[in-house]
Amino acid sequence: MSPLPNDRIHIRDLALRCIIGVYPEERHAAQEVVINITLWADLARAGRSDDLADTVDYKAVKNAVVAMVEASRFQLLEALAEKVAGICLAAEGVAAAGVLVEKPGALTGARTVGVELFRRRSE
């Protein structure tokens, strides 16, 4: 496997609402999830050209994630995170994606619970 680019794009603290959870009481109303995304990509060309065509369109990635999450009905944070990673890897120029999905208030006494994963584009 080839090494990852050193360059990264971060989308931080994307707060969305969706149906998420395994218990019946979690399946009736949308709950908040907070998503953090890191995209590994070679940004050198964009840094030189100052042209959107030479970089990852992170607004398009964000919009695709928002649309998917808000329409989703996953039981597990793991499944939601996997789907988010797939959207990220489908974006032109993204070599790898790190995704952290958190569900604030899911555990009594804890601010949040989260699932974090890292996925690479297949070569």
Which residues carry out catalysis? 103
Between CA 37 and CA 34 the distance in angstroms is 10
**How distant, in Å, are the alpha carbons of 4, 9, 10, 21, 82 from that of 88?**
15, 11, 12, 23, 10
* β-strand pairing of 8-20 with 73-74: parallel
Burial 22-40 (b: 16+ CB within 10 A, else e): eeeeeeeeebebbbbbbbb
